[in-house]
Amino acid sequence: MVQKAERVLAPRKQGGARGGRPVGNVTRGTTNPNRMRRVDRWLTGAQVRRWRGAAHPLAVDLGYGASPATAVELFERLTTVRPDTRMVGIEIEPERVRQAKPLEQPGLSFQLGGFELPVAGDPMLVRAFNVLRQYEEADVPGIWRLVQDRLAPGGLFIDGTCDEIGRRAAWVALDAKRPLSLSISMRFGSFTLPSDAAERLPKALIHRNVPGEKVHAFLQAMDQAWLEAAPLASFGNRQRWSAMCRTLLDAGWPVQDGPSRWRLGEVTVGWEAVAPGS
């Protein structure tokens, strides 16, 4: 059962859940196999050096939902980079944890918890997809801070959203101190304009897609560059998307990574370019 949302207004210290309860709310839990492939591909591609260099490769899938499939998939993908990966799937709903337990294996476990991250050790990676979207925007900074305080040195917290089968995805990457970037990843053929990704922006940005906000300006710039690259459509959407990214970079947008990522229908931009106004 979905829990009526309670406010999470400020960060709490580890173990600070009231009455020992996990911090957070029960979510709808909707999930599908391979739904998170786009962000997982980014983690094991663009961020591969970070994971390979981890002193203790501990990952957390926070709020994996009604099915543990995407947690298992993340574990399998991370172990291709580091066979010694330790992965913990965390859910606030006890029945979801009970159902996931039979899938445990060496390196992979499931347990009850919330944003307080009741795991042994400091995670190098925390992925929370389609979780914070169900909270108030005002709660996001406190939730971010709570998770960031648990990260290992060099660790990442991924707060993202995607559609039901993973064709459109967007995520914010944060380290222990600040947000670093926004990534947008789209399956070619699933959109008319790049700004169609707006409905999948993370909670910190989804209500900021209005004139005067940076993220709105970025999405408009993507659309304009996409339209200008229309003559390349005959060579395929990979070429067109790559040209769009190049135009954005040349125009001064802090586009990260490079053509090998762009060809996947992905673009990552520095957080300073899209950060919400006051």
CATH number of domain containing 150: 3.40.50
Is the pLDDT at 13 greater than 50, yes or no? no
Mean pLDDT over 27-32 rounds to: 68
**In the beta sheet, which residues pair with residue 111?**
90
Mean pLDDT over 63-83 rounds to: 95
Q: What is the pLDDT of residue 79?
A: 97
Residues 6+ apart with CB under 8 A from 112: 22, 90, 91, 92, 94, 97, 118
Q: What is the pLDDT of residue 15?
A: 41
**In the beta sheet, which residues pair with residue 255?**
269
Q: Is 85 among the domain residues?
A: yes
Q: What is the pLDDT of residue 30?
A: 67
Q: Is 246 among the domain residues?
A: no
Q: Determine the angle formed by the axes of helices 237-250 and 214-228, rounding to 10 degrees.
A: 130
If you search the block for the tokens 């994971």, which residue do you land on? 51
Tokens of 244: 């769009």
Q: What is the pLDDT of residue 32?
A: 75
Of the listed ranges 12-21, 52-61, 83-92, 252-261, the least confidently predicted one is: 12-21
DSSP secondary structure string for all residues of the chain: -PPPP----S---TT--GGGPPSS--------TTTTHHHHHHHTTTTHHHHHT-SS-EEEEET--S--HHHHHHHHHHHTT-TT-EEEEEESSHHHHHHHGGG-BTTEEEEE--TT---SS--SEEEEESSGGGS-GGGHHHHHHHHHTTPPTT-EEEEEEE-TTSSEEEEEEE-SSSEEEEEEEE-TTS-SSGGGGGGG--HHHHTT-STTSHHHHHHHHHHHHHHHTGGGGGG-HHHHHHHHHHHHHHTT--B-S-HHHHTTTEEEEEGGGTPPP-
Mean pLDDT over 253-274 rounds to: 97
Is the pLDDT at 266 greater than 80, yes or no? yes
Is the pLDDT at 171 greater than 70, yes or no? yes
Is the pLDDT at 22 greater than 90, yes or no? no
Task: Confirm if 117 and 126 have CB atoms less than 8 A apart.
Answer: yes
Tokens of 73: 């998939």
What total of structural domains would you count in the chain? 1
Q: Is 211 among the domain residues?
A: no
If you search the block for the tokens 């009850």, which residue do you land on? 112
Residue 147 CA: distances (Å) to CA of 58, 135, 150, 174, 254: 14, 15, 5, 10, 26
Q: Is 230 among the domain residues?
A: no
Range(s) of the domain holding residue 97 = 18-203+265-273
Is the pLDDT at 9 greater than 80, yes or no? no
Residue 115 CA: distances (Å) to CA of 41, 45, 124, 238, 247: 24, 26, 15, 38, 39
* Global model pTM greater than 0.85: yes
Q: What is the pLDDT of residue 62?
A: 97
Q: Is 37 among the domain residues?
A: yes
Shortest CA distance to 218 belongs to which of 189, 192, 247, 259? Answer: 247
Is the pLDDT at 14 greater than 60, yes or no? no
Residue 2 CA: distances (Å) to CA of 92, 166, 246: 11, 22, 43
Of the listed ranges 4-13, 23-32, 59-68, 93-102, the least confidently predicted one is: 4-13
Q: What is the pLDDT of residue 240?
A: 98
Residue 32: Cβ within 10 Å count: 15
Q: Is 174 among the domain residues?
A: yes
Mean pLDDT over 94-100 rounds to: 95
Higher-pLDDT residue of 33, 38: 38
* Percentage above 70 pLDDT, the chain: 91
Q: What is the pLDDT of residue 104?
A: 97
Is the pLDDT at 24 greater than 90, yes or no? no
Q: Is 191 among the domain residues?
A: yes
Mean pLDDT over 174-191 rounds to: 97
First to last CA, the chain: 35
Higher-pLDDT residue of 24, 199: 199
Mean pLDDT over 100-120 rounds to: 96
Q: Is 56 among the domain residues?
A: yes
